[in-house]
Amino acid sequence: MQTTAYVVHYSPAGPDGAPAAEPPALLEAIAEAGFAVASREAFSGDGFCGARLAVRPAEARAASSAQPQASFAGPSPVGTLSAGTLAAGALSAAATGADGLPGGGSAATYRAPGGLAGLRAAVLGAKDSFDAGTGACVVPSDLFHAPRMLLVLDVDSTLIRQEVVEMLAAHAGCEAEVTEVTEAAMRGELDFAQSLHARVATLAGLEQEVIAAVRDAVELTPGASELVGAFRAAGHAVGVVSGGFIQILAPLAAELRLDFANANELGIEGGRLTGTVVGDVVDRAAKEARLREWALSLGIPVAHTIAVGDGANDLDMVRAAGLGVAFNAQPALRRGADAAIDLPRLDVIRHLVGI
């Protein structure tokens, strides 16, 4: 019987560097969802460790007939893990042996009545019992084994450590005011487009040279280069989409050799910032649109995409992706994500899909 999914757990590395043990609540959740662990593969990085558990429906009882009866009908989809899609595929899988269900010749029946959605709900429910910094998520087997994936990252406070609009505002003497608005927008308390226009208006009159100074001060999040490099070396595509500014992002995208980059454009006239944004704002709807457009252009199913962000403006693309990751994120995004990572390094994400 083939693997149906991977349950991945990750945590800060211990002082002795020993591999992370499975949280007992996680193993209980897997069993309660009707799955069994088939194999385990540990991983570690700079300051973190974890393991991937290959899981499949657990054997429930011996059957009297020679053909197995696969009880794998899923409920309504939860998040980006579509139980409805899985349930439809389970019927043919029972006959063909694909996607985690036996294909004949066995006298066993298998129980996983909630499918992947039920497994995901069980894993999410167990996380309240984990130690601080420990997380877990469910990665569908078809994503894990996808021949090519698309990774799309938010930029400010995700790919980079800072919020660029706040860095620009510091030069205008209004950083505290802009920071307060940024934080409210990331919590989902303000309309992003309106809040961006208000924040950018405070930059009116700044000399254009400020952009270069801010660009030079930008710092990549630890593990960002390693994450991008690992995906590209494995033949996958990487894009970034930002509610920030293309004047800052373009050189960074070129340095990292990204496949795609999209962000807002600051208005500039006569060598000074106008305090306006040129064209439509890159908001949460636009981020999801870029994810879908880039995947389509590459012939990659949306189910084989990974989206990573930190705020409410990333919610739509995180929900749409095959695997949505909330990275040190606001509660509004964490609630809609498949995985919540509370570790300082981005490259833990590569281990979620075995890269």
Per the CB < 8 A criterion, the answer to whether 148 and 298 are in contact is yes
What are residue 82's phi and psi, to 5 degrees? Answer: -85, 105
Same domain, 115 and 252: no
* Residue 155 lies in domain: 150-352
Same domain, 232 and 137: no
Q: Is the pLDDT of residue 145 over 90?
A: yes
Same domain, 95 and 162: no
Global pTM value: 0.84
Count of domains observed in the chain:
2
Same domain, 229 and 174: yes
Average confidence (pLDDT) over 280-307: 97
Same domain, 162 and 59: no
Provide the pLDDT for residue 179: 86
Express each pLDDT in 183-212 by its tens digit.
888 788 888 888 899 999 999 999 999 999
Same domain, 42 and 85: yes
Strand runs (DSSP E) across the chain, as ranges?
5-12, 35-45, 48-62, 70-71, 108-111, 135-140, 150-153, 237-245, 260-269, 272-278, 305-309, 323-327, 339-341
Task: Name the residues annotated as catalytic.
Answer: 154, 156
Provide the pLDDT for residue 17: 64
Beta partners for residue 11, in sequence order:
49
Q: Let me know how long the chain is.
A: 355
Round the average pLDDT of the chain to a whole number and report it.
85
Considering 10-19, 22-31, 89-98, 108-117, the range whose residues carry the highest mean pLDDT is 22-31
Same domain, 193 and 304: yes
Same domain, 58 and 97: yes
The CATH number covering residue 290 comes to 3.40.50.1000
Q: How far apart are CA 240 and CA 306, in angstroms?
A: 11
Q: Domain ends where: 99, 117, 144? A: 144
Same domain, 301 and 348: yes
Same domain, 127 and 196: no
Q: Domain ends where: 110, 144, 178? A: 144
Give the burial string for 338-351 (b: 16+ CB within 10 Å, else e). Answer: bbbbbbbbbbbbbb
Same domain, 209 and 315: yes
Same domain, 224 and 344: yes
Q: Domain ends where: 97, 127, 144? A: 144
